């Protein structure tokens, strides 16, 4: 995903002295409570207090930006379309270690949090989102829009980006990525007893996967590693179908009640007696 340029717009100095801590919202005119804290301000008028050290630690972009004096002092205006106040509140709580990451990421905010992780280069936030996806595979589906975190292939790409470490699992793949490959196989019916890969999958799932692969954004939205996994899953399905076809062709007639390609028995002759 390409990163949008980060722009900091500087506004007027807040006037009141109300304080907020640990990622909580303060009144719109509340300044940072102490020199080691600052106020994040948003277009909607919300103000969010955050620790300077926490922001520097969680974001490589803010680490550079906060190396310079702010004007007005202690205020960092965030005016981008991706700067969702509620998502920022979760990011600040994660950065300040005031809540466990598993309690911060939800299906409602994961999209906004991932956009912030990408825009501000926040690996810890991205990893928290990837962990959420790994723990909630039942919420993933091939029918979701390609760029949605709920899409199985996009979720696998997110996991690959933030949890991949160069290959530590079987076949050189990282275990988290292999876990997402397992989700895809289950959705295609490949883990069901007696299934022959895609041949045993719901037709809708196969059509959805094909539509995703043919999507114009597929080459750029889905990570190269996940694209390779999709290819391997499809090849495994073809191998399974081929093996099943060969087995059916070589089975003795009547061994399973029906032999693939065998002709049906000829009907008994019908005798008619005239009186």
- 85 and 22 in one domain? yes
Beta bridge partners of 178: none
Q: Report the CATH number that the domain containing residue 30 is assigned in CATH.
A: 3.30.710.10
Tens digits of per-residue pLDDT, 142-190?
A: 999 999 999 999 999 999 999 876 544 445 578 888 899 899 988 887 6
Q: Residue 38's pLDDT band (boundaries 50, 70, 90)?
A: very high
Indicate whether 257 belongs to any domain: no
Determine the pLDDT at residue 30. Answer: 46
Tens digits of per-residue pLDDT, 90-141?
A: 999 999 999 999 999 999 999 999 999 999 999 999 999 999 999 999 999 9
- 25 and 123 in one domain? yes
Write out the residue range of the structural domain in which residue 54 sits.
1-135
Indicate whether 86 belongs to any domain: yes
- 31 and 118 in one domain? yes
Look-up of token digits 């520097």: 56
Indicate whether 142 belongs to any domain: no
pLDDT of residue 10 exceeding 70: no
- 90 and 4 in one domain? yes
Look-up of token digits 């397992």: 182
- 82 and 7 in one domain? yes
Cβ–Cβ < 8 Å for 187, 152: yes
Structural domains counted in the chain:
2
- 211 and 112 in one domain? no
Indicate whether 99 belongs to any domain: yes
Long-range contacts of 132-136 (CB under 8 A, 24+ apart): 132/102, 132/105, 132/106, 133/158, 133/159, 133/180, 134/159, 134/163, 134/176, 134/179, 134/180, 135/102, 136/107
* Mean pLDDT score across all residues of the chain: 79
- 173 and 123 in one domain? no
Indicate whether 258 belongs to any domain: no
194: Cβ contacts below 8 Å, ≥ 6 apart: 200
Q: Beta-carbon neighbour count of residue 157 at 10 Å?
A: 25
Q: What does pTM read for this prediction?
A: 0.72
- 189 and 115 in one domain? no
Determine the pLDDT at residue 236. Answer: 77
Determine the pLDDT at residue 15. Answer: 36
Nearest alpha carbon to residue 148 among 219, 84, 217, 206: 217
pLDDT of residue 260 exceeding 50: no
- Beta strand pairing call for 75-78 and 37-42: parallel
Reading the block at residue 64, the tokens are 């550079």
Looking at the chain, the whole-number percentage of residues with pLDDT higher than 70 is 71
Mean pLDDT for the stretch of residues 210-226: 94
Cβ–Cβ < 8 Å for 85, 42: yes
Determine the pLDDT at residue 196. Answer: 44
Cβ–Cβ < 8 Å for 174, 160: yes
């Amino acid at each position: 995903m390409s990163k949008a340029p980060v722009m900091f717009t500087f506004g007027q100095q807040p006037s009141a002295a109300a304080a907020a801590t640990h990622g909580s919202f303060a009144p719109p005119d509340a300044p940072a409570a102490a020199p080691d804290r600052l106020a994040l301000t948003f277009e909607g008028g919300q103000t969010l207090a955050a620790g300077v050290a926490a922001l520097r630690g969680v974001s490589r972009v803010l680490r550079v930006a906060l190396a310079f004096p702010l004007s007005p002092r202690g205020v960092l205006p965030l005016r981008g379309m991706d700067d969702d106040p509620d998502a920022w509140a979760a990011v600040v709580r994660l950065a300040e270690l005031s809540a466990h990451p598993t309690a911060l990421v939800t299906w409602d905010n994961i999209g906004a949090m991932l956009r912030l992780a990408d825009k501000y280069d926040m690996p810890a936030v991205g990893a928290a989102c990837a962990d959420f996806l790994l723990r909630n595979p039942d919420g993933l589906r091939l029918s979701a829009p390609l760029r949605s975190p709920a899409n199985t292939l996009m979720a696998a790409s997110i996991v690959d980006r933030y949890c991949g470490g160069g290959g530590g699992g079987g076949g050189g793949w990282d275990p988290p990525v292999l876990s997402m490959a397992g989700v895809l196989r289950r959705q295609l019916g490949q883990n069901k007893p007696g299934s022959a890969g895609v041949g045993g999958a719901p037709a809708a799932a196969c059509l959805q996967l094909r539509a995703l692969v043919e999507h114009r954004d597929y080459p750029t939205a889905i990570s190269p590693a996940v694209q390779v996994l999709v290819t391997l899953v499809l090849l495994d399905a073809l191998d399974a179908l081929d093996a099943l076809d060969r087995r059916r062709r070589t089975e003795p007639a009547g061994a399973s009640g029906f032999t693939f390609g065998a002709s049906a028995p000829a009907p008994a002759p019908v005798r008619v007696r005239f009186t």
